[in-house]
Amino acid sequence: MAIGVIRVDRPEAGASYLRATLKGMALTFKHLVKPITVSQQYPEEKWELSPRMRGTHRMAVHEDGRSKCVACGLCPTICPANCIKLIPAEDENGERYAAVYEIDEFRCIFCGYCQEVCPVEAIHLGVHYEAAEFSRERFVYDLERLCEQDHPFTQLWDPEDPYSE
């Protein structure tokens, strides 16, 4: 005996199991013969991403391939997830550069503060989401890897509508 079953006293005409069954069968059959239009065949078809989508990082580089980073230390300071490791160094001309620059993409919360705070527009988030790897270590991106990324930079605002929310 099920407890607390409320039995609705339905009108006679609406209480036929067979009729409801046949109706349901007709409905599923209609869907069965209807061509499928909503599925997206993922690896072949992909979403068009917003230019403001914040994905895995990418470092901007000079024309000779050096990273634009001047190792000012603002991004590890502002990073709320504390995921950026930066050890600065100075070359023979007295220019600062990042001797070690690593971003742990597991800790990163993709807030985009590093990109906003960067004075030389070196570190950027990217419009990119397929970041699968075979090991956890591969998710710590070093400077070389950040420079090699070639997906588009995240835009901090829509260039056509800069004052929108």
Partner 1 sequence: MGALSTTVFVISSAVKVVVIFMAWLLAVAGVTLAERKLAAWIQDRSGPNRVGPWGIFQPLADGLKNFIKEESLPEGASRWLFHLAPIISMFPAFVVFAVIPIAAPLPTPWGTVEMIIADIPIGLLFVLALGSLGVYGLVLGGWASNSKYPFLGGVRASAQMISYEVALGLSLVPMLMLSGNVSLPEIVAQQQETLWYVLPLMVGYLFFTVSYFAETNRAPFDMPEAESELVYGFHTEYSAMKFAIFMMAEYSNMIVASALIVTFFFGGWDIPFWAGDNMRVAADGLIVGGTPVWWVTVLTGLAFAAKVGFFVFVFIWVRWTIPRFRYDQVMSLGWKVMIPSLVVYIVVLGFSMLALESAGVQFSTTYMLWLTGVNVLGLLAIMFWLDRKRVIIGSAWRQVRPEQIR
By CB under 8 A, name the binding residues for partner 1. 1-10, 12, 15-19, 21, 24-25, 27-29, 31-32, 34, 36, 38-39, 41
The nearest distance, CB 39 to partner 1, in angstroms, is 5
Extract the tokens encoding 93.
């001309």
The nearest distance, CB 131 to partner 1, in angstroms, is 22
The nearest distance, CB 130 to partner 1, in angstroms, is 17
**Residue 59 and residue 40: Cα distance in Å, rounded?**
32
Are residues 99 and 88 in contact, defined by beta-carbon separation less than 8 angstroms? yes
3-state secondary structure at position 85:
strand
**Residue 126 and residue 49: Cα distance in Å, rounded?**
11
3-state secondary structure at position 33:
helix
The nearest distance, CB 128 to partner 1, in angstroms, is 24
Q: Which is nearer to partner 1, 2 or 132 (CB)?
A: 2
Q: Which is nearer to partner 1, 21 or 50 (CB)?
A: 21
Q: Which is nearer to partner 1, 18 or 132 (CB)?
A: 18
Q: Which is nearer to partner 1, 19 or 52 (CB)?
A: 19
Buried b (16+ CB within 10 A) or exposed e, 75-112: bbeebeeebbebeeeeeeeeeebbeebbbebeebeeee
